[in-house]
Amino acid sequence: MKDLVFNYNGVLDYVSKKEIAAYEDKAKQALKDLIDNTGAGNDFTGWVNYPLEIQEKELQEINEVAKNIRKQSHCLVVIGIGGSYLGAKAAIEMFSPYFSNLTKNNFEIIFLGNNISAGYLEGALKYLKNVDFSVNVISKSGKTLEPALAFRFVKELMIEKYGAEYAKRVVVTTSNHHSILHEEALKEGYKEFFIPDNIGGRYSVFTAVGLLPIACMGYDVYDLIRGAINSCQDFKTLPYQENPCMQYAAIRNILYNKKYTNEIMASFDPKLTYFGEWWKQLYGESEGKDHKGVLPIVLSYSTDLHSLGQYVQDGMRNIFETFVDFAHEKTALPIKENNEDLDGLNYLAGKDVKFVKDQALKGTMEAHISGGVPAMLIQVKDNSPYTFGYLAYFFMLSCGISGYLLGVNPFNQEGVEAYKKNMYALLKK
């Protein structure tokens, strides 16, 4: 199978092939504007070519620092919010085995600074007292309240535990100017990685922002970047008729203009739930502006079929759905014949649990489509770093195209400042 297969048959009752074809010129122009740097927000499109441009030296350094962190600690604390942590979290959740926080080498990762819950921070500090840990503070601006506050407490604990040597356990990922975190790193002697000026948080997973935590967990960042490079080369060059990246962007805009204003990313694999959270931020923060934009919603099936499933099937008809699926999941759970058949499941004997999931996906899509929910299916092979790189780049490029088609600047986020302004006023900053 190809690295990514896009099936949009499930929208054709709602959107005609002619309407999709009519978007060709606009989608091509949007892609061209991204590549040529001629669209809105063009000072933040460094991510478009970044997988091709990332230096071998940078990757080596990331791996070396990760190796060192694993040597000196049993836990990495990643402190960051929004685009500064969601990519790494999504990747690690996708690669990690279930029911184990620890990789085979007894190493774990925890994420702090992504909320302002006192209980969460207190719980983490209590936990970290008895754990040997290092920290990666990630903030491009260096001044975001949530991570800064968490780091202040964690730093205090580190000084208590490790004395002056604590600084050797801190790695900062930030901008190399206009960042007070960078100033602090210089003063305290923390190791630093720099985020390129022209890459915003939610487009930064292929920089050290995403790669260092991923490498610390022992996953192959070279493979991940290889996936992103291939995705970049494929989707920048494929003609519109064969290009899922332009087609996905076009179809969601056509649906939006027909008042389908909510998009659900649905998956039957819990390993994709955080990928959905990453996607939600990417699309929500990129497109939700000027009183426009599709509202991205993440659902995990079949869990959510027993909750929001009712709404999806039968509620307001302003939803479309994008399913993401691992086509080649490697599991072996054959269902055996049981003499008593007390649970009445013998009709499944000889089948595999994956087969059951595949039929559930098919049946759900058909039910939703016939119930008034246009649906698309994106299939990738597996949950490997390569696939993550391929899929994440696909959604990033498509998001840029989609934002331009919608007529917004996909690379700013001025709306996020409103809550900060009120909060800082109340805090008397």
Q: How far is the CB of 25 from ligand PA5 (least distance, A)?
A: 30
**Least gap, CB of 144 to ligand PA5 (angstroms):** 3
Nearer to ligand PA5 by C-beta: 29 or 42?
A: 42
> Residue 156 Cβ, how far from ligand PA5 at the closest point, in Å?
20
Candidates 93, 146, 263, 285; catalytic one: 285
User: What is d(CA 166, CA 135) in angstroms, rounded to the nearest whole number?
Assistant: 10
Single out the residue of 163, 113, 117 nearest to residue 143, CA to CA.
113
- Does residue 306 carry a catalytic annotation? yes
Q: How many residues does the chain have?
A: 429
Residues 207/140, Cβ–Cβ less than 8 Å? no
Element containing residue 77 per DSSP (H, E): strand 75-79
Query: Cβ distance 201 to 83 under 8 Å?
Result: yes
What is the DSSP secondary-structure string of 347-394?
GGTT-BHHHHHHHHHHHHHHHHHHTT--EEEEEES-SSHHHHHHHHHH
Residue number, 293 or 374, with CB nearest to ligand PA5: 293
Taking the least distance from each CB to ligand PA5, the nearer of 70 and 140 is 140
Q: Which is nearer to ligand PA5, 141 or 273 (CB)?
A: 141
Q: Closer to ligand PA5 at the Cβ: 27 or 81?
A: 81
Partnered with residue 77 across adjacent β-strands are 110, 135
Q: How far apart are the first and last CA of the chain?
A: 55
Of 67, 178, 420, 421, which residue is the catalytic one?
Answer: 420
Residue from 306, 336, 428, 429 carrying the catalytic annotation: 306
**CB 341 → ligand PA5: shortest distance, Å?**
52
Number of neighbours of residue 123 by Cβ within 10 angstroms = 11
* CA-closest candidate to residue 168, choices 254, 69, 252: 69
Distance (Å, rounded) from C-alpha 55 to C-alpha 45?
18
Question: Does the annotation mark 368 as catalytic?
Answer: no
- Residue 348: count of CB within 10 angstroms of its CB: 17
Residues 6+ positions from 288 with CB-CB distance below 8 Å: 295, 415
For 253, the token pair is 């805009």
Q: Locate all alpha helices (DSSP H) within 96-144, ordered by sequence.
A: 118-129
Q: How far is the CB of 403 from ligand PA5 (least distance, A)?
A: 13
CA-nearest of 251, 274, 277, 263 to 402 is 251
Residue closer to ligand PA5 by CB (options 201, 374) is 201
Of all residues in the shown chain, the one whose CB is closest to ligand PA5 is 201
Q: Cβ closer to ligand PA5: 136 or 247?
A: 136
CB of 155 to ligand PA5, least distance (A): 16
Residues lying near ligand PA5 in the complex (CB under 6 A)? 81-84, 139-141, 144, 147, 200-202, 285, 413
Give the shortest CB-139-to-ligand PA5 separation in angstroms: 3
- The nearer residue to ligand PA5, 10 or 80, going by C-beta atoms, is 80
285 included as an active-site residue? yes
Closest CA to 399 of 411, 389, 387, 414: 411
Query: DSSP string of 397-417?
Result: HHHHHHHHHHTS-TT--GGGH
Dist CA 237 CA 334 (whole Å): 42
Q: How far is the CB of 422 from ligand PA5 (least distance, A)?
A: 16
- Report the catalytic residues: 285, 306, 420
